Amino acid sequence: MARYLDVHPENPQPRLISQVVEALRDDALIAYPTDSGYALGCQLGNRDGRDRILRIRDLDDKHHFTLVCKDFAQLGQFVHVDNAAFRAVKAATPGPYTFILPATREVPKRLLHPKKRTVGVRIPDHALVAALLDELGEPLLTSTLILPGETEPRTMGWEIKEELDMAVDLVIEAGEVLPQPTTVIDWSDSAPEVLRVGAGDPSRFEA
């Protein structure tokens, strides 16, 4: 059964944040709120966590995983951001955008797109996520919690606890969550391509 933690949305309790980080370091898979719906998350080195995310979402190995980063400096350790993308990506973060970019050697090969050698990255505008990443000290391997047959991410922690009680290890509740997923921008080539329109305004990346 999954643990269920009710965390303050604006001032996350340090004791509870420490409990979540301890669970992550013990290879837990968590369901947690972001600024664009719930997500599934685990540590980068958690092989089983990656496979569990794919099973829960009924996805194949071509799925673009996302590294949820603390800030732009951390993001830059895991992806290559060229001069053309630098200002635009930095201006859009933190916020509800996911950017697909060429990965650096810091990213485990099993997390990369098998052909493009790319990975998704994002910096959420969410107090709970910021607190988690600050204590964890590394990005979270993440995928939006959109279940098979659905088009929007889940937004209610108690519903996730009921439905995924045996599939995840910990569910975090932290106030109201918007139901829109992130806007996804593929910047693996010379120009940005909007792959999915979501909570973030895509117009700044459209020609």
Helices vs. strands in the chain: H and E counts, helices first:
6, 10
Tell me the CATH number at 125: 3.90.870.10
The answer to whether 36 and 143 are in contact (CB under 8 A) is: no
Q: Does residue 146 sit in helix, strand or coil?
A: coil
Our count of domains for the chain comes to: 1
Lateral strand order in the sheet of 37-42 = 3-6, 170-173, 30-34, 37-42, 140-144, 66-68, 118-122, 97-102, 183-186, 193-196
CA gap 130, 136 in Å, rounded: 10
Whole-prediction pTM: 0.93
**Residues present in the chain in total:** 207
- E strands in 103-161: 118-122, 140-144
Structural domain boundaries, residue 120: 3-205
Number of Cβ within a 10 Å radius of residue 80: 13
From residue 183, give the alpha-carbon distance in Å to each of 52, 99, 104, 141, 153. 24, 9, 23, 18, 13
Each of the 207 residues of the chain gets a pLDDT tens digit; together they read 999 999 999 999 999 999 999 999 999 999 999 998 999 999 999 999 999 999 999 998 778 889 999 999 999 999 999 888 889 999 999 999 999 999 999 998 888 887 889 999 999 999 999 999 999 999 999 999 999 999 888 999 999 999 999 999 999 999 888 888 899 999 998 889 999 999 899 998 886
d(CA 86, CA 45): 27
